[in-house]
Amino acid sequence: MATTAEASNTTTGNTETATGKMIKIQSNDGQIFEVDQGVVEQSSTIKTLSDLMDVGDVPIPLPNVKASILGPIVDFCNHHKNDQKPEPIDEDDDDDPNKDIYEPKRSDDICEWDLNFIKQFTVPEGTLFDIIMAANYLGIKTLLAVGCKTIANMVRGKSSTEVREMFNISYDPPGEGINAPNAIEGQAGTVPTTQDANATGPSPQPDPMNQ
């Protein structure tokens, strides 16, 4: 993986290599990464931006991803760039009619390399959620699947009490407190998502699945 620390000092344009055209991408904290087409193809976001922008000297900005997350993502994509696309899975007993080939209804099939990769991201540090949101933003379905399967494996078999402790979920029962029928108008939906007073997470979002 090639990186340059100072975007403003970049004077060379995107370069060609034996493997194809190299593209520059930039994290929201200014770090630039040079990636080849095999990496670009795995990210629908980067691919779309590179097609639209017709990039020359200018790195593609990725305002939603910081360098400490983008760097490992580039490593992941470099490792997987020669993978074949997975075959569709036909499961007679599958009870999810909306599955796609990247998201079979199981989470025990993460390969060893991906298991070691995802271990660097944890729940207590919040970095596991960072990598999941970055994979979602960048449209890297394989990495998103690994992240989501990792969370699913942590949840499986746990009681609701254990899940609440593991993920530091706030006590916010339906029909009580801010969710009570007589709650002050205008404050509903703004309860903090965690018990941490310093947390800066967003307010609960409307459920797109039920709209």
Partner 1 sequence: MNRSNVYLLDLPNEILFNILKKLQNADVLYSLLGINNDRLDSIARNAMFSNILNFISNVQNTIINDFQLNRFCDYILPEISHNVKYLIVESTSIERILLATHYPNLIHLKIFNFQCDYSLQYFTDDSSLRQIFKQQIKKLDLVNKDSEVGL
CA end-to-end distance (rounded Å), the chain:
42
CA distances, 189 to each of 151, 180, 193 (Å): 25, 11, 10
**Between residues 12 and 205, which has the closer beta carbon with respect to partner 1?**
205
- The span from the CA of 64 to the CA of 10, in Å, is 22
172 binds partner 1 (CB under 8 A): yes
**Between residues 4 and 167, which has the closer beta carbon with respect to partner 1?**
167
Tell me the HSE value of 102 on the side-chain side, using a 13 A CA sphere.
13
106 binds partner 1 (CB under 8 A): yes
**Between residues 6 and 108, which has the closer beta carbon with respect to partner 1?**
108
Residues in the interface with partner 1 (CB under 8 A) total 62
Tell me the HSE value of 152 on the side-chain side, using a 13 A CA sphere.
14
Q: Residue 46 in contact with residue 23, Cβ under 8 Å?
A: yes
187 binds partner 1 (CB under 8 A): no
Tell me the angle at which helices 127-138 and 141-155 cross, rounded to the nearest 10 degrees. 150
62 binds partner 1 (CB under 8 A): no
Shortest CB 21 distance to partner 1, Å: 31
79 binds partner 1 (CB under 8 A): no
123 binds partner 1 (CB under 8 A): yes
Tell me the angle at which helices 127-138 and 44-53 cross, rounded to the nearest 10 degrees. 50
- The span from the CA of 61 to the CA of 151, in Å, is 29
76 binds partner 1 (CB under 8 A): no
96 binds partner 1 (CB under 8 A): yes
**Between residues 51 and 196, which has the closer beta carbon with respect to partner 1?**
196
Shortest CB 151 distance to partner 1, Å: 5
CA distances, 177 to each of 48, 112, 186, 199, 203 (Å): 45, 45, 14, 20, 16
120 binds partner 1 (CB under 8 A): yes
Tell me the HSE value of 125 on the side-chain side, using a 13 A CA sphere.
10
137 binds partner 1 (CB under 8 A): no
Shortest CB 38 distance to partner 1, Å: 25
Tokens standing for 211? 């709209």
Contact set with partner 1 (CB under 8 A): 66, 68, 93, 95-96, 98-99, 103, 105-108, 120-123, 125-127, 129-130, 132-133, 136, 144, 148-149, 151-152, 155-160, 162-164, 167-174, 179, 193-194, 196, 198-202, 204-210
